């Protein structure tokens, strides 16, 4: 389940019944998808796409997407830092940014034209659609690992247009989920004094 934070209001949403309508209010589509057959992080892309074929087809028809692929990023991905640096500054695209998370985590910051700036931490099972023209930026969590299905209306349109406002520097890319525990919060079992 995604975790929604609205930093300027000091609000966090963790329940589906709150998350979906809140995100709809800032024009972000959010769905939970379930695989028709089991997939693992090691499954080949065609198996991953087949497991979610019905959802992908429905979304294609709704949004005019023509292609879908699977992207995987790990700390071992060549030039991973350069790749991530392209997307962690505020930008927008000429087409929708649609992601369905297979495994790993990521953090979208959405800067709506109306409504508060919102951080969306996505994990396995989350589908998010950021409409074309929406200002946003994206970070991975500390383990720098994500595998996601992407859908495209026209892959050539998926170029970041940077706003260069610097707003992204005012919001810490902090993930709250299990893969991003600050070291100070780790508890060492059976060590006196570490449990409260």
Residue number with CB closer to Fe ion (97 or 139): 97
Residue number with CB closer to Fe ion (43 or 104): 104
Q: For Fe ion, how many residues bind (rule: CB under 5 A)?
A: 1
* Rounded least distance, CB 96 to Fe ion, Å: 10
Please answer whether residues 128 and 18 qualify as being in contact, where contact means their C-beta atoms are separated by less than 8 angstroms.
no
Please answer whether residues 88 and 139 qualify as being in contact, where contact means their C-beta atoms are separated by less than 8 angstroms.
yes
Residue number with CB closer to Fe ion (142 or 150): 150
139/54 Cα distance (integer angstroms):
29
Residue number with CB closer to Fe ion (97 or 126): 97
Residue closest to Fe ion when measured from CB atoms: 97
153/134 Cα distance (integer angstroms):
16
* Rounded least distance, CB 50 to Fe ion, Å: 26
Residue number with CB closer to Fe ion (43 or 92): 92
Inter-CA distances, 165 with 20, 111, 135, 136, 171, Å = 29, 12, 11, 12, 13
Give the contact letters, 94-133, x = binds to Fe ion (CB under 5 A), - = no. Answer: ---x------------------------------------
157/10 Cα distance (integer angstroms):
35
H/E stretch holding 99: strand 97-104
99/102 Cα distance (integer angstroms):
9
Q: What phi and psi, each to the nearest 5 degrees, are found at residue 26? A: -110, 25
Give the contact letters, 59-98, x = binds to Fe ion (CB under 5 A), - = no. Answer: --------------------------------------x-
Residue number with CB closer to Fe ion (22 or 108): 108
Please answer whether residues 130 and 97 qualify as being in contact, where contact means their C-beta atoms are separated by less than 8 angstroms.
yes
3-state SS, residue 121: strand
Give the contact letters, 134-153, x = binds to Fe ion (CB under 5 A), - = no. Answer: --------------------
* Rounded least distance, CB 75 to Fe ion, Å: 21
* Rounded least distance, CB 196 to Fe ion, Å: 40
Q: In the complex, which residues of this chain contact Fe ion (CB under 5 A)?
A: 97
């Amino acid at each position: 389940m995604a975790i929604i934070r609205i930093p300027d209001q000091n609000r966090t949403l963790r329940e589906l019944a709150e998350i979906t309508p809140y995100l709809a209010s800032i024009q972000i589509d959010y769905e939970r998808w379930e695989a028709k057959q089991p997939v693992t992080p090691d499954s080949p892309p065609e198996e991953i796409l087949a497991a979610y074929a019905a959802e992908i087809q429905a979304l294609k028809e709704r949004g005019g997407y023509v292609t879908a692929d699977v992207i995987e990023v790990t700390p071992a991905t060549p030039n991973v830092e350069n790749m991530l640096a392209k997307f962690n500054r505020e930008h927008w695209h000429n087409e929708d940014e649609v992601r369905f998370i297979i495994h790993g985590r990521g953090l979208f910051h959405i800067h709506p034209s109306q409504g508060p700036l919102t951080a969306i931490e996505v994990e396995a099972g989350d589908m998010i659609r950021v409409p074309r023209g929406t200002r946003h930026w994206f970070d991975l969590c500390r383990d720098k690992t994500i595998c996601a299905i992407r859908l495209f209306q026209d892959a050539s349109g998926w170029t970041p247009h940077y706003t260069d406002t610097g707003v992204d520097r005012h919001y810490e890319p902090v993930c709250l989920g299990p893969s991003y525990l600050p070291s100070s919060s780790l508890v060492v079992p059976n060590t006196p004094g570490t449990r409260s």
